[in-house]
Amino acid sequence: MSSSDPQNSASGSQDPASFLRSATFSRDGPAVSVENAVTANDLLLGAYDPAKLHPLAQLGDQLDYLVLDDDKTSELPGAGTAIPSRGWSDDLCYGTGTMYLSGLALGGFWGVSEGARRPLAVSNTRLRINSVLNSVTRRGTFIGNSAGVLALVYNGINSTIDSLRGKHDTAGSMAAGALTGALYKSTAGVKPALAAASVISGVAGIWSYVKKSV
């Protein structure tokens, strides 16, 4: 970049800000036409040649892409089900998140139904809305948190059993469900713990069978 004004005009007696306002600049080299200018649309659509980003790069068709094993599923015997999984981390993260969100949705519907049917001392729209919101907050968080904790413990135990046995099957899933239910209700007594173990074990067995059958 060069200035058309003499260099001695920026003397000590002249204000630098005034000099910059009055200075004009010109660009050496051929001007780029508006038609050939690269726009953001070209970059987003992938129509722009990456070799033009830097002429000295000489990229051409010699781009090397990093090959990742993101699509590699678990090689554990019996792990090939209708829901692909790369291992215990996928089961732990996706399973826990799915159950938590499902519990929030189920609890929200339950709260809406409960709040809408709850009798009020005074029939008022604002009080009715407040009753619904209170029920949704109470039921949604309770079921969501409970489902998330159950899924977290179940997937952790199930992955440990699969790792120790060297395979994934319905029996291992049912055993993980039984341990999860017994642990979840362990502080309530023997009978509630056995009941929870039976229920969650049955649900885990059905879920495992459905995943393999689909």
Comparing 47-56, 113-122, 133-142, 165-174, the range with the smallest average pLDDT is 47-56
pLDDT of 195 strictly over 90: yes
What is this structure's pTM?
0.56
Surface-to-core class of residue 62, CB atoms within 10 Å of its CB (0-12 exposed, 13-18 middle, 19+ buried): exposed
Q: Which of 1-10's residues contact partners 24+ apart within 8 Å by CB, and which partners?
A: 1/25, 1/26, 1/27, 2/26, 2/28
Q: How far apart are CA 92 and CA 108, in angstroms?
A: 24
pLDDT of 51 strictly over 70: no
pLDDT at 180: 92
Domain assignments of the chain as residue spans, ordered by start: 85-148
Residue with tokens 């977290």, as numbered in its chain: 152
